[in-house]
A and B are shown apart, each in its own frame.
Chain A
Amino acid sequence: MALSAPFARLLAAGRADFNARMAAAKRQVPGFDTDAFAAFLQTAADSVVVAVAAEAPESAGPVASAAYDIGLTLVAHGLIGPTTRHPLVGRVWTELAPRIVQRVVASPTAVLGGLCNAALNLSRMPSVRGDIWLQNMAILADRCADTRELLALGQVLAWRSGAAHLRAGALAAADRLPPALALAALGAEAPSTWDEVKAGLLANPWWSPERASTANAPAGREVGNFAGFGGIFPEPPQVRPAPDGFWVKSADRYSLLIADAWGAVLAPASEDEFAHPSADVAGAASLEGARIVFGYGAVDIDLPAEGLALVCNAHSAALVSPYTYAIRLYPLK
């Protein structure tokens, strides 16, 4: 694939400088993949430079320079190229950045670099749907008035894509967005107002404005699975209540499970934290044979009754069994 004419011209104009940067990178990073870098320039960087050259030709130079430097870093860390485990990073350049030229032009390094970091962080979290984040960003990002709004939007959409641990910060970020954009970011349906949606989100982590109109009972979610099949638990897990989630123990690994309507994330925890759980919320839900009885109804369980354990915190119930490596989470209301 050949470089576009505008990008080729820019690279030729700064040839000595660009070559020197490349040489420095090669010297400082043994095994620097020059083929991957060339591919990055021809596809990812080129698509951004072409879009900028068409819309704001006077800014194409600084954007090309920033893209070149970011590309060096990405290749040095193996984050881009045919063998990368994080293809979402490359898709930021081709599917998102060309749609937000004005934001890229305003702060090329901050926007392109920040979005690459975000894509990398999200793709490192197996339970987060990075492609949904990118898809929603591509739809909504051009509604942002400045870089600050763009970054806040990315945070809100990361939460909605499953990064439940970012809930509090993302909610604060949504508060800084124009109400219409905040509602769109959270998938709220008309005629909701931002104040109503925010109140609902603050009251119950299992409430989602996407489902507000249908008011169907939440189905809960399954987290974990056997490490041998790509999951993370080497043994059937045990759970204990934590202030905003559950402490989890599986063999010698300890985690903090945080879940809400949009996703569930496991963060590292310690043995000491598992040994000192919060108080179980007694009476919030109960096991009756192979059924869990909640305030709003009962759920049948397709697991043997032997060894079932149900633990509740303020908002959720977690069910574990010696016959499964997964944790089943249910909302209490």
Chain B
Amino acid sequence: MPKCRLRTLSIVAMSVFDVFKRVSQAPTNPKPATGPRVFDVADLYAGPVQAGLGGETAGIALDEKLRQAYFWVVNHAIISPHYDIEYNDGPAQRYAIGDGRRPLTLPSAQSYSSFILLPLLTFVTRRKCLFVGGPGRGKTASAILMGVLAGYPVREVRRAMQHGHPQMTIADLLGNPLPADLVGAQSMDDIRIAWRSWLSMRVKIVDEYNRIPTRTQSALLTVMGDNYAEVLNHVFECPESAWYLTANDDQGGGTYQVIEALRDRIDVIVHALAFNPRFLDDLLLRVEENVRPEDLVPQEIIFSEAELDRVGEEIRAVEVPDDVRRRLEFFASQFELFEMAGVQFEYMTKDTARLSGVEWAQVVAADNGRDRLKDLGCQTRNGVSVRNLMTLLIFGKALAYFRGNSAVELEDLRQILPFVLRDKLLPDLDAPFFSLPENAGYRTDRVSWLRRLFDLACDEFDRLDLDRNDAVGKIAAEFARGLDGVSESETRARLTKIERLVGEYAKARKLYGHLFDDLQKLKYLHQRYTNYLHWLRRQ
């Protein structure tokens, strides 16, 4: 009888007091209108009572729909009260907590949970997200929700999910040749392949990917990296997809070491934080109501393929202002330089040191002259790759879009950066920075370290006053206006200007990452002008 009572109650609750299916009707991030004001008279009848007058979401902007999806997930599906992506529009309340006096901030603007937001941004940008964290933290549930948001039935999403295990073969992952064809085939072309259905889905989920054997990981890499699957010379072209992978350990633990190329294909890494028992009543409600959130995703927040295409276009149209881009350039410039690794200017990089096979500690020992505490480059064992920068830009745009903005703010980059670079920019834990007592926490908290690194880079950018005093930027801007009509004498004058600037930089003696990149840029510009000068002379 009690079971029967609960069932009845649950059905009634669905129709009447449907908290699990309710989507925010008010703007989730209200902003003053930027275009001509339109006051919709139909809004008179919109309100807390579901009057069923229709049109509540008709014509809704897709960024608003995305926020509605976020707030539905965060309010009803995944219990994640961790607002670790913090925004402020005024002074925030800050407290120092515990013996370590760690900061607790009460943000003054709408802030977000990375565990919900990052998968959602991955969904709309069709990128690749890795969930890490202990078992039972909602990693798989979150991935399944993303599949449902793409319009797939829950059952289909569950069936399509790939579960990594030590015996997983390439056939398990991609598909089998049909046995009858194998016997009778005269050539490879005669063999038909029964492709796995998940390959054609727009949301792909690989659970516990670090339990997949190395050889099968290589096949997975082809699908992830190049978006096609190959079996016996037959190719299956996959649609553009959002990928979700889960692992209990992001450091390569699990049954098999994850191959580096596969790790490098992952765009963002999200940490599933621990459950807060203060929210046990929410779990109790689910038990009593016998509901699973993924079964109750409201239709209003499901994205069609065309909508996802349009969101993608709108995200790409979000502007990255020059001043924001410059700070990202400056940050990225800090890390690749390794003066002692090379003799020729271009090879003075950490990549040269890594490829040489010489032990890292041995190469570092040769480094001298720089302030290893102040130089941010000394905190890492590598630099930022092109793929990482592209990911940073697209996720920065996606975050700005999600917040309803048409341009990326510096804070967007600051917030998104740790999740993109978490597994990519590797700390040198022997660096002096990490040995300071106040920085001990950064040895284990990669997200906070990366955000701190970005803050330090921005501080240095401000100290050098590069917003107003960017000599290389001015020369580059002059070049970007084109060479058409530039005379020989003007070209020579520009070459002299470059040479003079290089000379000034050379006088400083100490070489830092951003100077290294500025000098490379100057060399590039010098070469372009030199080539142009040669061409002019032949005219």
Contact = CB atoms under 8 A, between A and B. Distances in A.
A111 B166 CA distance: 61
Interface stretch (A117-125, A298-306, A314-322): A117-125
B40 interface: yes
A55 interface: no
Given A21-B12, A21-B16, A270-B32, A120 B37 contact: no
A74 B30 CA distance: 24
B53 interface: yes
A110 interface: yes
A65 B36 CA distance: 42
Contacts of A73: 17, 48-50
A166 B44 contact: yes
Contacts of A100: none
Interface of B: 5, 8-9, 12-13, 16-17, 19, 30-32, 34, 36-37, 39-53, 285, 288
A154 B42 CA distance: 10
Nearest to B39: A165
Contacts of A120: 47-48
A74 B50 CA distance: 11
A35 interface: no
A77 B49 CA distance: 10
Nearest to B36: A243
A70 B17 contact: no
A283 B539 CA distance: 63
Q: Which 4 pairs across A and B sit closest by C-beta, in order of nearness?
A: A169-B41, A117-B47, A113-B51, A270-B32
Q: Secondary structure of the A side of the interface?
A: helix
Given A112-B49, A120-B47, 10 more contacts: A20-B13, A24-B13, A69-B16, A109-B50, A114-B51, A120-B48, A165-B39, A169-B39, A169-B41, A272-B34
A70 B49 contact: yes
Contacts of A27: 285, 288
Contact of B49 (A16, A113, A151, A172): A113
A109 B17 contact: no
Contacts of A79: 48
Contacts of B37: 165, 244, 256, 267
B41 A166 contact: yes
Interface residues of A, number: 51
Contacts, number: 115
A33 B34 CA distance: 41
A96 to B, nearest CB: 14
B17 A21 contact: yes
Interface in A103-139: 109-110, 112-114, 116-118, 120-122
Contacts of A292: none
Given A113-B49, A117-B45, A118-B44, A20 B39 contact: no
Given A21-B16, A24-B16, A117 B51 contact: yes
Nearest to B20: A28
A109 B43 CA distance: 17
B16 A23 contact: no
A173 interface: yes
A102 interface: no
A23 B34 CA distance: 45
B44 A117 contact: yes
A208 interface: no
A25 B51 contact: no
B163 to A, nearest CB: 35
A142 interface: no
A34 to B, nearest CB: 14
Interface centre among B9, B41, B44, B53 (most CB of A within 10 A): B44
Nearest to B14: A24
A269 B37 CA distance: 10
A121 B44 contact: yes
A313 interface: no
Nearest to B31: A270
B52 A154 contact: no
A121 B51 contact: no
A159 B40 CA distance: 12
19 contacts: A20-B9, A24-B16, A24-B17, A69-B17, A110-B53, A112-B51, A114-B45, A114-B49, A118-B45, A120-B48, A121-B43, A151-B45, A151-B53, A166-B39, A169-B41, A244-B37, A254-B32, A256-B37, A268-B32
Contact of A77 (B31, B46, B48): B48
Nearest to A158: B44
A110 B51 contact: yes
Given A24-B9, A268-B32, A116 B52 contact: no
